[in-house]
């Protein structure tokens, strides 16, 4: 969609795209026109008066919509805890040029989000200014750069782009590498270079690596690990002033609220503390608490002239992909995998006579991830003795149901192992009948 374009959804609904001034390729601001009123979804946005590409946020259109009946606003809450305004994207461009100017004889690498088109554009501008070739590394980065160039979102000077395999043909001071991995993702290009696991590029002393991002909460350890590995290889890591947020700070959020003047407000995009803080910000601007709804994931909200309320729930949460299976790995399977990874597995194999239920072979115990059998023969012999006693007890009580026998064996063996090792491996009894 382009600025001002609308899509009709039936006779009484339409969606309009509003210029959101965000550097991330997938961010949009939408106004959704319904019979009950207009609903605005901000997407990820900020007010950048000097954007890298395109025009600034369309404040006039927002004000025009605000003069109509805006039923509800759903707004980005990620930076609601930050006072003031978010810096312009051009600040990062100046930092890039400073780093390029100070390292004219070094190979320069920049790691950033693949979806941040404006950031990639500024790297290309800096490379062109200092007469360097640009190579793109990482599947997502390659795909985004290719698609953005074809659609006209990225301006690439003629002859500046080279293939990654051609980098070795140029001196260090002639190339810039743009890659993924700014969040320490294990399979991303930068992480694989840090661990010497990248097939085409090796980090060497003197390389200058710009991390153009801020660690997402929870990624701090992985990012620090990558930085440490890069430093061990003699690279210089530059992080200061190499990133500005793509999310609106408090004053920009206030501007959005005042422009659109919604009847109801639903804070979105952020953790619960961000949503709550955004709700407080809206109340400071005069909105009543009853007109604010902080939803939980999966809750269905009904909007009408009479209210804004939760009316139900839909399935939500993580969908796990394992091999060719999508969503077929649930909590029980994950619990079993965690159990196996922490305490290991004991398999107890027994052969019983079909008619009498007497033990004719075994029990044999197989250990995987619990103890090394050859170094724990005494423990295994004692464990077998415990299982034999359990089977003898079953025979004396004329217990022939497999499920009961397995339960008794598991309980006795689990108690014995815990007393001896203070560990609780998964115990899997297997009964064969002859």
In this predicted structure, what is the pLDDT of residue 255? 94
**Statement: residue 22 has pLDDT above 80:** no
pTM of the model: 0.71
Position 287 scores a pLDDT of 93
Domain 90-238, what fold? Rossmann fold (3.40.50)
Inter-CA distances, 128 with 65, 100, 121, 134, 184, Å: 41, 11, 11, 9, 28
Please state the rounded mean pLDDT for residues 18-28: 58
Residue 168 has pLDDT above 50, yes or no: yes
- Say if residue 33's pLDDT is above 80: no
Could you write out the three-class secondary structure of the chain? CCCCCEEECCCCCEEEEECCCCCECCCCEEEEEECCEEEEECCCCCCCCCCCCCCCCCHHHHHHHHCCCEEEEEEECCCCCCCCCCCCCHHHHHHHHHHHHHCCCCCEEEECCCCEHHHHHHHHHHHHHCCCEEEEECHHHHHHHHHHHHHCCCCCCCCCEECHHHHHHCCHHHEEEEECCCCCCCCCHHHHHHCCCCCCCCCCCCCEEEECCCCCCCCHHHHHHHHHHHHHCCCEEECCCCCCCCCCCHHHHHHHHHHHCCCEEEEECCCHHHHHHHHHHHHHCCCCHHHECCCCCCEEEEEECCEEEEEEECCCCCCCEECCEECCCCHHHHHHHHHHHHHCEEEEEEEECCCCCCEEEEEEEEEECCCCHHHCHHHHHHHHHHHHHHHHHHHHCCCCCHHHHHHHHHHHHHHHHHHHHCCCCEEEEEEEEC
Question: Residue 51 — very low, low, confident or very high, per pLDDT cuts 50/70/90?
Answer: confident
pLDDT tens, residue by residue, 204-216: 999 999 999 888 7
**Pairwise pLDDT comparison (110 vs 346), residue with the higher score:** 110
Query: What pLDDT does 26 receive?
Result: 47
> Out of 55-59, 176-180, 263-267, which region has the weakest mean confidence (pLDDT)?
55-59
Which residue, chain included where needed, has tokens 């206030």? Answer: 254
> What is the pLDDT, as a whole number, of residue 274?
93
Question: Is the model's pLDDT at 107 over the cut of 90?
Answer: yes
* Distance from C-alpha of 229 to C-alpha of 192, rounded to nearest angstrom: 10
Q: Which pLDDT value is given to residue 103?
A: 93
How would you classify the pairing of strands 161-162 and 133-137?
parallel
| Catalytic residue numbers, as ranges | 76, 247
Confidence grade of residue 1 (pLDDT, cut at 50, 70, 90): very low
Q: Domain spanning 325-433 has what CATH number?
A: 3.10.20.580
Binned at pLDDT 50, 70 and 90, residue 130 comes out as very high
Q: In terms of pLDDT, which residue wins out, 342 or 359?
A: 342
Whether pLDDT at 9 is above 60: no
Q: Which residue has the higher pLDDT, 414 or 281?
A: 281
Average pLDDT, the chain: 85
Instruction: Give, rounded to a whole angstrom, the gap between the first and last alpha carbons of the chain.
Output: 70
Is the sign of the CA dihedral 220, 222, 228, 230 positive or negative? negative
283 has pLDDT over 90? yes
pLDDT at 7 over 80: no
CA-CA distances (angstroms) from residue 315 to 137, 269, 301, 312, 319?
37, 19, 14, 10, 10
Measured CA to CA in angstroms, residue 273 lies from 49, 73, 78, 262 at distances of 29, 19, 10, 22
CATH class, range 6-84+247-313: alpha beta
Task: List b or e across 67-87, with b for residues whose CB sees 16 or more CB atoms inside 10 angstroms.
Answer: eeebbbbbbbbbbbebeebbe
Q: For the chain, what are the domain ranges?
A: 6-84+247-313, 90-238, 325-433
- φ and ψ at 43, to 5 degrees? 60, -165
The residue with greater pLDDT, 98 or 58, is: 98
Q: How much is the average pLDDT of 184-208?
A: 89
Give yes or no for a contact between 250 and 54, defined as CB atoms under 8 angstroms apart.
no
Rg (CA), the chain: 31
Q: Is the pLDDT of residue 362 over 60?
A: yes
Q: Do domains 6-84+247-313 and 90-238 have the same CATH topology?
A: no
Compute the average pLDDT of residues 188-199: 89
- The percentage of residues in the chain with a pLDDT greater than 70, rounded to a whole number, is 92
Per residue in 287-319, pLDDT tens? 999 999 998 888 898 888 888 888 888 888 777
pLDDT of 322 higher than 80:
no
Contact between 71 and 264 under an 8 Å Cβ cutoff? The reply is yes
Residue 325 has pLDDT above 60, yes or no: yes
pLDDT of res. 13: 66
């Amino acid at each position: 969609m382009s600025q001002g374009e609308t899509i009709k959804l039936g006779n009484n609904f339409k969606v309009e795209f509003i210029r959101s001034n965000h550097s991330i390729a997938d961010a949009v601001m939408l106004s959704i026109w319904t019979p009950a009123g207009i609903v605005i979804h901000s997407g990820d946005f900020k007010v950048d008066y000097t954007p890298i590409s395109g025009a600034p946020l369309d404040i006039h259109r927002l004000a025009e919509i605000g003069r109509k009946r805006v039923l509800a606003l759903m707004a980005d809450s990620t930076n609601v805890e930050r006072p003031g305004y978010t810096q312009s994207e051009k600040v990062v461009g100046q930092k890039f040029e400073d780093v390029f100017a100070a390292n004219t004889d070094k190979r320069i690498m920049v790691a950033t989000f693949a979806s941040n088109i404006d950031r990639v554009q500024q790297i290309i501008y800096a490379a062109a200014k200092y007469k360097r070739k640009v190579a793109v590394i990482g599947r997502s980065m390659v795909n985004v750069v290719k698609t953005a160039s074809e659609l006209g979102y990225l301006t690439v000077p003629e002859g500046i782009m080279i293939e990654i395999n051609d980098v070795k043909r140029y001196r260090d001071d002639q190339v810039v590498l743009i890659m993924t991995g700014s969040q320490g993702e294990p399979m991303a290009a930068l992480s694989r270079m840090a661990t010497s696991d990248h097939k085409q590029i090796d980090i060497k002393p003197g390389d200058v690596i710009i991390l153009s991002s801020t660690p997402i909460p929870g990624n701090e350890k992985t990012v620090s690990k990558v930085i440490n590995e890069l430093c061990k290889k003699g690279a210089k890591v530059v992080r200061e002033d190499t990133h500005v947020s793509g999310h609106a700070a408090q004053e920009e959020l206030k501007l959005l609220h005042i422009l659109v003047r919604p009847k109801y407000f639903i804070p979105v995009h952020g953790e619960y503390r961000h949503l709550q803080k955004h709700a407080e910000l809206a109340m400071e601007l005069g909105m009543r608490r009853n007109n604010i709804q902080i939803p939980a994931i999966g809750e269905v909200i009904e909007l009408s002239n009479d209210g804004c309320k939760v009316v139900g729930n839909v399935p939500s949460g993580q969908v796990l992909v394992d091999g060719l299976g999508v969503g077929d790995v649930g909590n029980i399977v994950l619990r079993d995998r965690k159990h196996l990874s922490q305490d290991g597995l004991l398999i107890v194999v027994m052969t019983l006579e079909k008619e009498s239920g007497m033990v004719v072979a075994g029990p044999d115990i197989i250990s995987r991830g619990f103890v090394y059998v050859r170094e724990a023969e005494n423990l295994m012999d004692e464990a077998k003795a415990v299982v034999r006693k359990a089977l003898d007890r079953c025979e004396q009580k004329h217990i022939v149901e497999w499920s009961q026998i397995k339960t008794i064996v598991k309980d006795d063996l689990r108690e014995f192992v815990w007393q001896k090792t203070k560990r609780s491996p998964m115990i899997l009894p297997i009964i064969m009948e002859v």
